[in-house]
Structure 1
Amino acid sequence: MIESLEDLEAVKKSCQSLVTKSSRLSAGAAIIPIPGVDIGSDVAILMRLIPAINQKFGLSPEQIDSLDTESKLFVMTAISNTGSKMAGKYITKKLIVLLLNKTAGKVAAKGVAKFAPFVGSAVAGGISFTAMKYMGNSHIEDCYDIALATLEKKRLESVIVVEPEQK
């Protein structure tokens, strides 16, 4: 559970490490000169990566459902305000494919690059690494902003001293 800004920074750093590892896997799959292998592996990688990030930030659907009504409403509003498509959601193959379609230009360039021997595979790997890193880090930033807003709300609530009602 994230209780301080230091905890939040540690979670962010841990998630960035996960994204880098996942980006390397994606690049490795893109180097294989068989069209379509990289897209399938990207979907599989993101199906594991995004829920892991959500979990670390306390933003998995189960974690949000366990909150009291007021906290749940605040978190859902914060998610909406960031425009996040993946925080607090069950991650499905359909959602991942939809998000990958947003990077369709890069994916198309990666697919075409595979047909140029040697250099094409390297270019495809580089594009895949960059696209995966971008998607993962963008999600981390969304989750960070949501968790920071929640942390700030808790801090403010603990500072406000409610005076007992006078009779």
Structure 2
Amino acid sequence: MIQSIEELEAIRKSCQSMVTRSSSLSAGTAIIPIPGLDIGSDVAILMRLIPKINEKFGLSPEQIDSLDVESKLFVMTAISNTGSKMAGKYITRKLIVLLLNKMAGKVAAKNVSKFVPFVGSAVAGSISFTAMKYMGNSHIDDCYEIALAALENERFETAVVIESALESEYQEPTQDNSRLY
């Protein structure tokens, strides 16, 4: 479990670097004028990238399953509240293709642009880089929001426990009036 905002920020930066590297790889593949190659490559890239991001934020299915019941319920609610389609889930080819289909306009523009000599490949690479970067960074933002909520919830619960312990330790002893009768 993430222990501090500083640790959470470091994870975010590390994941953003991974996304930039993956986006560059996607752009490089998109430049090759073979229709369909880039889509297969993007699916493969995302199949590796998304689980790595989930794991770094403590949001892989296995990590969530290992939480106590209350923490697991809180994290699953936070995932639901962000609307994330990939946090806490097993990433399948079908899920990645579904998400890529939501970006169908960019994918179509990328494929059509390949048929324009020279400039078309550069445009396809640029579109691919931008789309991959957008998808990756959006997922990072979702994971960050979920992990931050979990961290704040953990801190709140710890504060309540400490406050409760302090209150019970410093309470004035009450007089037992039952002995008077």
Q: TM-score, normalised by structure 2?
A: 0.90
How far the C-alpha of 1:157 sits from its partner, in A, is 1.3
Q: Separation in 2 of the partners of 1:3 and 1:128?
A: 35
1:50 aligns to what?
Answer: 50
Q: Deviations over 1:100-129 (max 9, x none)?
A: 001100000000000001100000000000
Q: In the alignment, residue 41 of structure 2 is paired with which amino acid?
A: S
Q: Separation in 1 of the partners of 2:95 and 2:168?
A: 49
Residue aligned with 1:149, SS:
helix
Q: Separation in 1 of the partners of 2:69 and 2:158?
A: 18
Q: CA RMSD in A?
A: 1.3
Greater gyration radius: 2
1:99 aligns to what?
Answer: 99
Q: Deviations over 1:63-112 (max 9, x none)?
A: 00000000000000000000000000000000000000011000000000
Q: In the alignment, residue 102 of structure 2 is paired with which amino acid?
A: K
Q: TM-score, normalised by structure 1?
A: 0.97
Q: Separation in 2 of the partners of 1:118 and 1:2?
A: 47
Q: In the alignment, residue 107 of structure 1 is paired with which amino acid?
A: V
How far the C-alpha of 1:156 sits from its partner, in A, is 1.0
How far the C-alpha of 1:42 sits from its partner, in A, is 0.0
Q: Separation in 2 of the partners of 1:70 and 1:126?
A: 44
Q: In the alignment, residue 115 of structure 2 is paired with which amino acid?
A: F
2:152 aligns to what?
Answer: 152
Q: Separation in 2 of the partners of 1:55 and 1:117?
A: 41
What is the aligned-residue identity percentage?
81
Identify unmatched segments of 5+ residues in structure 1: none
Q: Separation in 1 of the partners of 2:4 and 2:27?
A: 35
Q: Separation in 2 of the partners of 1:149 and 1:95?
A: 25
Q: Separation in 2 of the partners of 1:77 and 1:153?
A: 12
1:38 aligns to what?
Answer: 38
Q: Separation in 1 of the partners of 2:117 and 2:30?
A: 13
1:21 aligns to what?
Answer: 21
Show structure 1 runs of 4+ deviating over 4 A: none
Q: Separation in 1 of the partners of 2:2 and 2:159?
A: 18
